[in-house]
Amino acid sequence: MSRARFLGTGFAVPDRVVTNDDLSALMDTSDEWIRTRTGIQERRWVREGETGAGLADQAARRALEAAGLEPGELDAIVYATSTPDHFAPGNGVYLQRLLGVGGIPSIDIRNQCSGFIYALSVADAFIRCGQFRRVLVVGAELQSTGMDVSTRGRNTAVIFADGAGAVVLGPGNDERGLLAFDLHGDGTYAEKLWVDAPGSMYHPRVSHEQIEAGRHFLDMDGKEVFRHAVARMPESVLAVLAATGQTPADLRLLVAHQANLRITEMIQRTLQLRDDQVYNNIMRYGNTTAASIPIALDECVRAGRVRAGDLVALTAFGSGFLWGSALVRW
Ligand code: UT7
């Protein structure tokens, strides 16, 4: 069995920058509140007509270029998003169409902020068992189109944003690659961070009443999510390290889901990591859900913060609740 290795990374974000002051013009909030409570200074939101699959296409092409591969050399796509362009089909086939690689399998993962970690684990399993060799793994979101930009929605609208990240995985022939996964879920908390409608349990799937009540917007109990996030992510990082007989001191880099700068700082303190062992870019992109880890990873790779042989941990927590980590020998 061959361990799955990262062959290339890439990301894409919309060119429309939305600052905290831009949001203050729409709702009762302030640059000071957003910076101190979340660390976010600006984020990217799509313009009308841009799609999640379109952003994923740009990110995927950059990852393929970094890997030195053509789209036609891919064997499968695993696409994580909680915000598909349509209710059905999922975004994987739209990306496939844009890449011009009809015929290969495409799998959609609906695991929100943890979607990229889960998608990696699926791709890793395919590669290890020899079913597919080169797998494109994408985390992409368009959150801005599901935000309530009035004061009613301010606890989510200032946080969530748009973007796409992609990696190409392939079989390795040495010790480098994905070493361990730790995956969890607890549906007890499903309604703590969710989008109620549209839903197939409703006839029709979305009604005027639901829209008036704002039940089609992302809804979050921020304090409850925060409380669990700061406990579960460090636990999960320690689990993947323990599975391979290592400790936080062995990490070159931790890339945590960019949910809130305060959350990442608490994870850093719990794991007793130095500043140079932790990467944050939430200041510039906000919380891009399934896209945040692959976006951060690509920035680290291109800036030389991750080099061959480095030990890297990826961790996420979010809606579900779902959480988990991956440990990589880069
Ligand atoms: O992606 C993975 C899942 N998501 C997360 O991990 C996010 C986790 N949660 C959080 O990051 C934080 O809970 C938030 C940033 C969402 C909120 O921060 P908080 O420190 O927990 O604030 P809070 O919700 O307790 O609200 C404090 C006050 C409230 O006013 P009162 O009741 O004290 O008068 C809110 O109404 O801040 C108010 N508030 C705002 N004020 C200005 C909430 N949102 C805003 C806002 N601007 N955008």
DSSP string, 149-203: -SGGGHHHHTTB--EEEEEEEEE-SSS-EEEEEEEEE-GGGGGGEE---S-TTSS
pLDDT given for residue 2 in this prediction:
82
Active-site annotation holder among 20, 111, 257, 260 = 257
Q: Looking at this protein, which amino acid is placed at residue 123?
A: A
Q: Does 1 score more than 90 pLDDT?
A: no
Confidence of residue 320 (pLDDT cuts 50, 70, 90): very high
Please give the share of the chain, as a percent, with pLDDT higher than 90: 98
pLDDT tens-place string over residues 137-173: 999 999 999 999 999 999 999 999 999 999 999 998 7
Report how far residue 176's alpha carbon sits from residue 173's, in angstroms, rounded to the nearest whole number: 8
* Index of the ligand 1 atom closest to the CA of residue 316: 2
Average pLDDT over every residue of 34-42: 98
Domain boundary among 175, 206, 239: 175
Q: 3-class DSSP state for residue 229?
A: helix
Average pLDDT over every residue of 8-21: 98
Q: How many domains does the chain have?
A: 2
Report how far residue 227's alpha carbon sits from residue 207's, in angstroms, rounded to the nearest whole number: 33
Residues 113 and 92 in one domain: yes
From the centroid of its chain, how far is CA 111? 9
The domain in which residue 122 lies consists of 4-175
Residues 102 and 183 in one domain: no
Residues 166 and 137 in one domain: yes
Residues 170 and 50 in one domain: yes
pLDDT given for residue 114 in this prediction:
98
pTM higher than the cut 0.95: yes
pLDDT given for residue 37 in this prediction:
97
Q: 3-class DSSP state for residue 236?
A: helix
Give me ligand 1 centre to Cα 155, in Å: 5
Choosing from 150, 155, 218 the residue with most ligand 1 atoms within 8 A of its CB, the one to mutate for a pocket test is: 155
Residues 24 and 161 in one domain: yes
Q: Looking at this protein, which amino acid is placed at residue 271?
A: L
Residues with CB under 6 A from ligand 1: 29, 33, 37-38, 113, 154-155, 158, 193, 222-223, 225-226, 229, 259-260, 263, 287, 318
Mean pLDDT of all residues in the chain?
Answer: 97
Report how far residue 149's alpha carbon sits from residue 153's, in angstroms, rounded to the nearest whole number: 6
pLDDT given for residue 140 in this prediction:
98
Domain boundary among 175, 199, 226: 175
Confidence of residue 100 (pLDDT cuts 50, 70, 90): very high
Query: Domain of 87: which CATH number?
Result: 3.40.47.10
pLDDT given for residue 172 in this prediction:
86
State the virtual CA torsion across 45, 117, 310, 302 in degrees, nearest 10.
-20
Residues 228 and 304 in one domain: yes
Residues 162 and 184 in one domain: no
- Protein residue closest via CA to atom 39 of ligand 1: 155
Average pLDDT over every residue of 268-287: 98
Residues 147 and 274 in one domain: no
Give me ligand 1 centre to Cα 45, in Å: 20
Residues 149 and 46 in one domain: yes
Domain boundary among 144, 175, 206: 175
pLDDT given for residue 12 in this prediction:
98
pLDDT given for residue 314 in this prediction:
98
Residues 159 and 192 in one domain: no
Contact 75, 281 (CB under 8 A): no
Average pLDDT over every residue of 86-104: 97
In this structure, what token pair is assigned to residue 256?
Answer: 């945590």
pLDDT tens-place string over residues 40-90: 999 999 999 999 999 999 999 999 999 999 999 999 999 999 999 999 999
Report how far residue 13's alpha carbon sits from residue 138's, in angstroms, rounded to the nearest whole number: 13
Report how far residue 120's alpha carbon sits from residue 124's, in angstroms, rounded to the nearest whole number: 6
Residues 235 and 298 in one domain: yes
Give me ligand 1 centre to Cα 222, in Å: 6
Give me ligand 1 centre to Cα 51, in Å: 28
Residues 168 and 220 in one domain: no
Confidence of residue 226 (pLDDT cuts 50, 70, 90): very high
